[in-house]
Structures are given as structure tokens and as C-alpha cells.
Amino acid sequence: MKIAVVLGSIRDSRFGIQVAQWAVDNIEGAELVDLKEFNLPLLTSAVPPMMLKGKYDVPEQQAWGEKMAEFDAFIFVTGEYNHSIPGALKNAIDSLGVELLGKKASFVSYGFDGAIRAVDHLRIVLHNFSMSLPRAQVSINLNHEMVDGKFVPAAHQAGALQQVVEQLTK
């Protein structure tokens, strides 16, 4: 099973890159897919991407779609922006269709309350792609696990991540 660790923050100096790298380093064979590298524009397509069967007019959207199509399962790494997911991540998901359809996804989130609300929103969004979304998730609390701007995972997080991988791959 090919697993992508998808980083949804495209901010300069984003904390999320540390979290995503930690996840990739601890999941055998996983690949980092960094949304920032795709320079994806806001979706303006007249036709909903779900109806376009992976063929898009916008080159950045095509590249993004082709990369996501390579994977069987995704671990979305997301921060919490105003109690939801980053707008860039929502736009990136809105820009996809068949690439996600019926696949599996799990979550690693980080925020001052663990970004649980963002993951709950993301689960609702991904349900529209008929995805399988196991219950396990990693919730990182920035009050304790961000020290001088560095990600310092709590002792239980390695086990939490393994549980996510187990549920995703079984």
C-alpha cells in the first residue's frame, strides 16, 4: 500500500513541515506530498473536478491530481486555522475528484487544543469522496509539544502514529 503524508499548510515558516517530516520518518515507505510545492491556484473551473475524471485544464491542478493519484492511502497533516482546516488544504481537496475516491485517509493534527476541530471538519469533507476514515488519529498539542518553535513529540506520539498506520493499512 502506497501511503502519502500530505502537508496542508503552505505558510512561510510553517510549523507543519516538522510534523510532516516526523511522520514520514516514522512510517516505512511513506512519501511526503507538500502542497506548497504545487502552487495550486484557487479553483475556478466551471465543471466540478469530480466530473472531470482526472483531466484538468490548469497545469498545477493536473500535477497535483497526478501526484495524489499515485497513492492508496493518505495521512493528512493539518494545523487548525480558525477552528477548521487551512483554506489552502480545502481548495486543494476541492480541486480533486477520482484521485481520492474510495481510498483511505488518516490524520495527524497540531494546534493549541490538538486541532481536533480541524480534523472533524476534514473528515466531513473527505466523506464526500466515499473515503474510509479509521478512528485513530494523532493530536499534537502545541502548548506542550512546540518548544522554542521546535516540534518535540510527547512520549506517547510514536505509539499513536503506529496505531494510525495499523488502522490505515489493515
Ligand X SMILES: Cc1cc2nc3c(=O)[nH]c(=O)nc-3n(C[C@H](O)[C@H](O)[C@H](O)COP(=O)(O)O)c2cc1C
**For ligand X, which residue of 1, 2, 11, 55 counts as binding (CB under 6 A)?**
11
Q: Give the C-alpha separation, 131 to 119, whole Å.
A: 14
- For residues 161 and 26, the answer to whether their CB atoms sit within 8 Å is yes
**For ligand X, which residue of 4, 6, 9, 73 counts as binding (CB under 6 A)?**
9
How many residues line the site for ligand X (CB under 6 A)? 15
Here the cell at position 75 is 495521512
79 binds ligand X (CB under 6 A): yes
Here the cell at position 163 is 496505531
The sign one gets for the Cα dihedral 53, 137, 22, 78 is positive
3 state DSSP class of 41: coil
- For residues 95 and 65, the answer to whether their CB atoms sit within 8 Å is yes
Considering the complex, what minimum distance in angstroms separates the CB of residue 7 from ligand X? Answer: 8
3 state DSSP class of 155: coil
Q: Which stretch binds ligand X (CB under 6 A): 10-18, 35-43, 93-101, 162-170?
A: 10-18
Considering the complex, what minimum distance in angstroms separates the CB of residue 24 from ligand X? Answer: 15
**For ligand X, which residue of 16, 49, 65, 134 counts as binding (CB under 6 A)?**
16
Residue type, 63: A
3 state DSSP class of 163: helix
22 binds ligand X (CB under 6 A): no
Considering the complex, what minimum distance in angstroms separates the CB of residue 26 from ligand X? Answer: 18
14 binds ligand X (CB under 6 A): yes
15 binds ligand X (CB under 6 A): yes
37: Cβ contacts below 8 Å, ≥ 6 apart:
none
112 binds ligand X (CB under 6 A): yes
**For ligand X, which residue of 6, 71, 76, 80 counts as binding (CB under 6 A)?**
80
Contact residues for ligand X (CB under 6 A)? 9, 11, 14-16, 79-83, 111-113, 115, 142
